[in-house]
Amino acid sequence: MLVVPFAAGLLLRLRDAGGAAPWLATLFACWLLGYFAFNAASTWLKSAPARRPANVPPLVTYATASGAFGLLTLALAGVGILSWVPLYAVLLVPALVLAARRRERATAGGALTTAAASLMTLVVRFPAASDLLTGTPQVRSALVVAALVFAYFFGTVLYVKTNIRERGSMAFYRASVAWHAVWTALAALGIALGVAPAWTLLFAAATARAAVVPRLGRRPSPRAIGLGEVAFCAAALLIIGLA
């Protein structure tokens, strides 16, 4: 979930003749280290007070390293990159609040973190959030791709829950199948607006997976679920790259 949105944004840049830039390398490092810092912060927040000191070193290490690469990104990309910070704060602060309440695995937490991850597609494509206000065809296309990336990954959150923590829950099962089916329909309707038809096939396959796998007699292993995700993610990036 970390690499795919970043790679999607990079593919959009290359498609639109934007090309790669030095700040993308430092942004990627900031992004990965920031993910580890977020996890360390979540662990610190949900830990008992007596155990929190042991969780401080990884939090400080990752946060410092991420901040250092963030400053390098700022120097290379310009102050416009800071315009994305408020959007990430809106998504990640509530996620940390859920972690503090030991509810980081709640569906709302999954929605917040997948939205934050999917937003990186736009950050990579446009170094300043204000670029989205131009309303160009490139902006509209990138917004659609970011939405589809979020739709797939949040669907994965529901799908994984129906196979592990919420296996047997009809409420989660229906929600997962319905989510995938709705996005299959939206992708099909979007073909008339320029959405690649392959997105419809991808979501149709994900809908079938969401409907069939949780109903199998044998619970799929985490490894099998992970390999399936790799295949779907590779397919999504292929669609973006060829569109």
**What 3-state DSSP class applies to 79?**
helix
Answer for the pair 80, 128: CB distance below 8 angstroms, yes or no.
yes
Higher pLDDT, 158 or 20: 158
Which pair of structure tokens corresponds to residue 103?
């509810």
Provide the whole-model pTM: 0.93
Q: What percent of the chain has pLDDT over 70?
A: 100
The mean pLDDT value of the chain amounts to 94
User: Could you tell me where the DSSP H helices lie in the chain?
Assistant: 3-15, 22-46, 52-77, 85-100, 107-125, 137-163, 170-190, 197-212, 222-242
Answer for the pair 23, 77: CB distance below 8 angstroms, yes or no.
yes
Rounded to whole angstroms, what are the CA distances from 243 to 21, 161, 213?
22, 31, 30
Residue type, 137: P
Spatial separation of the C-alpha atoms in residues 170 and 156, rounded to whole Å: 17
Spatial separation of the C-alpha atoms in residues 76 and 217, rounded to whole Å: 53
Spatial separation of the C-alpha atoms in residues 222 and 47, rounded to whole Å: 26
- Read off the pLDDT of residues 10-69 as tens digits, 9 standing for 90 and up: 999 998 877 788 999 999 999 999 999 999 999 999 988 888 999 999 999 999 999 999
In this predicted structure, what is the pLDDT of residue 103? 86
Rounded to whole angstroms, what are the CA distances from 34 to 16, 18, 141, 182?
28, 25, 27, 32
In this predicted structure, what is the pLDDT of residue 1? 72
Task: Report the C-alpha dihedral over residues 46, 47, 50, 53, rounded to 10 degrees.
Answer: -100
How many residues are recorded in the chain? Answer: 243
